[in-house]
Chains A and B, each alone.
Chain A
Amino acid sequence: MDAEDIELSDDEEEITAESVLKTLQNAWQNERLAPEILPHHNDMVECMLGQIQHMERNINKLPKTDLRSCIHKMELNRIKYIICNYLKTRLGKIEKYCIAIVNEEKQRIEAGTNYLTPSEFRYAQEYITNMESHLKNTILNHVPGNMQSFELNKMAIYPNFYCHVFLKANETINGIILEDLLGDQDEEIDIEEDSQHILQYKPIADLVKNGKVQLV
């Protein structure tokens, strides 16, 4: 892919489209493998979408049978697939854990650390509203009085933080605490840069979010 310089911030940081794609790819991998929803990378998605638009315009100028247009089209399809799958994975989690996510997101929005884009948050809220009205119309409004409440908290589904994941350390990290659920013997471990491990998701959740480890 042609390396094109794109300015993404005021302090003249030049980031190539290639590196944005790589970061997006990592984000996509993490999102697919993590049990919970991760902070969004919307600026990168938009950047890639802009790139796609740009490339599509260029390709359409070339004759259809030009080899370059075929290769670029393949590249475009590949990028589109990554973006679509990334967003679809997020939507899937939003739908499954909608009640839990909306509750937690409300607090995160106040703190300015939201994980969902505004569109995603709207989607989540609308999803819950639709579910509520469907359940009310079909069942809840017809059952005896004291059973009619739509108990949001009971119906919430939470991701399983104790599932195991494969990860690779991007840098050396010290002092990860592994809880001993069955006893009192918590363990503290250090992991070296570039080493790979299988661990429970819970202790390394923050490390995934701040980029110190990559799920594989």
Chain B
Amino acid sequence: MFGEKVIELLKEAERNSDTIDLYNDEKIRQIIQEMHILFKMNMDDANATTENKSLWTTVQVRHSALERNKRCLLAYLYNRMNKIKTLRWEFGSVLPPDVRELLSDSEYEWFSKYSTNLASYMRSLGEDIGYSGIDLTENLRPPKSLYIEVLCVTDYGKLELEDGDVIMLKKNSRHYLPTEECQTLIRQGVLKQII
């Protein structure tokens, strides 16, 4: 009740800092339950302080515990928010289903709103001069050459290039493609650059 459960939650989150875990709905519910119990105890004791003045210190202690639990829960969510942000920049605006199921519904809603906010910002770039916006999620690495050789790691299917050519991306096939067009696929792990 005094922050032990919530610390377990946070330690769990810290353990896997490179990926996002399943949203621990159950634990959060339990912690909020505990907070309500603490609150009730405090209400009862606060009313009783007229008879027993020393109960006031107890109320203070429980209040601190409530604040602590609140802080930890918010930190848990905030930390996940940051990871979800990275998901948008690395997986794109559509999440694969096995990633989607790691998020709670509210988190997915936040993800969509974040995506929309980002998109409208990107669209507004250069609108005064008639530019149709830039996609900031591309161009993430300094360009070294116009074309690169890539190996296809999974069966992806057809890819249409800017000049109209269509390529078939089959597992283990090699291609020589313009850097611009394969950046996203490399980031998503479909293609691998051969040096």
Beta-carbon contacts under 8 Å, B101-120 to A: 104, 106-107, 109-110, 113-114, 117-118
Report yes or no: A81 in contact with B142, Cβ–Cβ below 8 A.
yes
Known contacts A95-B85, A131-B81, A142-B32; A77/B124 CB under 8 A: no
* Alpha-carbon separation in the docked complex, A123 to B136 (Å): 14
Main secondary structure of the interface of B (DSSP, over half): helix
Report yes or no: A139 in contact with B77, Cβ–Cβ below 8 A.
yes
Report yes or no: A147 in contact with B109, Cβ–Cβ below 8 A.
no
Q: How far is the CB of B35 from chain A (nearest CB, A)?
A: 5
Q: Mark A38-72, 1 if CB is under 8 A from B, else 0.
A: 00000001100110010000000000100000100
Q: Mark A118-131, 1 if CB is under 8 A from B, else 0.
A: 01101100110011
Q: Is A88 an interface residue (CB 8 A)?
A: yes
Q: Is B125 an interface residue (CB 8 A)?
A: yes
Main secondary structure of the interface of A (DSSP, over half): helix
Q: Is B126 an interface residue (CB 8 A)?
A: yes
* Alpha-carbon separation in the docked complex, A134 to B146 (Å): 42
**Which of chain B's residues have a CB closer than 8 A to the CB of A122?**
121
Binds A, one of B47-55, B127-135, B186-194: B127-135
Report yes or no: A138 in contact with B143, Cβ–Cβ below 8 A.
no
**Which of chain B's residues have a CB closer than 8 A to the CB of A84?**
134, 136, 138-140
Interface size class of B (residues with CB under 8 A): 35 or more
Report yes or no: A87 in contact with B125, Cβ–Cβ below 8 A.
yes
Report yes or no: B117 in contact with A138, Cβ–Cβ below 8 A.
no
**Which of chain A's residues have a CB closer than 8 A to the CB of B66?**
143-144, 146-147
Known contacts A80-B134, A81-B143, A85-B139; A144/B39 CB under 8 A: yes
A residues neighboring B (CB under 8 Å): 45-46, 49-50, 53, 64, 70, 73-74, 77-78, 80-81, 83-85, 87-88, 91, 95, 119-120, 122-123, 126-127, 130-131, 134-135, 137-139, 142-147, 155
B residues neighboring A (CB under 8 Å): 28, 32, 35-36, 38-39, 66-67, 69-70, 73-74, 77-78, 81, 85, 104, 106-107, 109-110, 113-114, 117-118, 121, 124-126, 128-131, 134, 136, 138-143, 145-146, 163, 179-180
